[in-house]
């Protein structure tokens, strides 16, 4: 299987909160990897593709809230999230976090 990602993926295991925007429901999840373009979170029940979500996580600079949508879900494995277009300050912060994790 080829890897069609535009941004390199970095392994990063961290606890996060995932909020479903349509249902206003929060889940505690474990993020397993991240890139500037998206991430993968462990979820027992996959979330519906296309669902708008917000991922809230903490790094060494504090809390980040990253809006996105579910690309796909795999039962008992997790869900892939593509981040929405991020404003420049948030994008730069995410780039720094990802660069620090991969260092």
| d(C-alpha 14, C-alpha 19), whole Å | 16
Mean pLDDT of 69-98: 93
Question: What is the set of domains in the chain, with CATH numbers?
Answer: 10-98 (2.40.10.220)
Q: How far is CA 103 from CA 12, 38, 57, 98, in A?
A: 12, 19, 19, 9
To 10 degrees, the CA torsion angle through 53, 62, 39, 103? 170
Mean pLDDT of 33-39: 93
The answer, yes or no, to whether residue 25 has pLDDT greater than 90, is no
pLDDT at 1: 36
pTM equals 0.87
Mean pLDDT of 54-76: 92
The answer, yes or no, to whether residue 9 has pLDDT greater than 90, is no
């Amino acid at each position: 299987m080829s890897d069609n990602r535009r941004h390199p993926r970095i392994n990063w295991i961290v606890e996060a909160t995932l909020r479903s925007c349509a249902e206003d429901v929060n889940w505690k999840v474990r993020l397993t990897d991240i890139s500037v373009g998206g991430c993968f979170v462990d979820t027992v029940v996959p979330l519906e593709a296309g669902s708008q979500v917000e991922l809230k996580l903490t790094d060494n600079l504090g809390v980040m809230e990253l809006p996105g949508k579910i690309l796909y879900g795999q039962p008992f494995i997790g869900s892939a999230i593509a981040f929405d277009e991020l404003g420049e300050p948030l994008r730069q912060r995410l780039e720094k976090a990802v660069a620090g994790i991969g260092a």
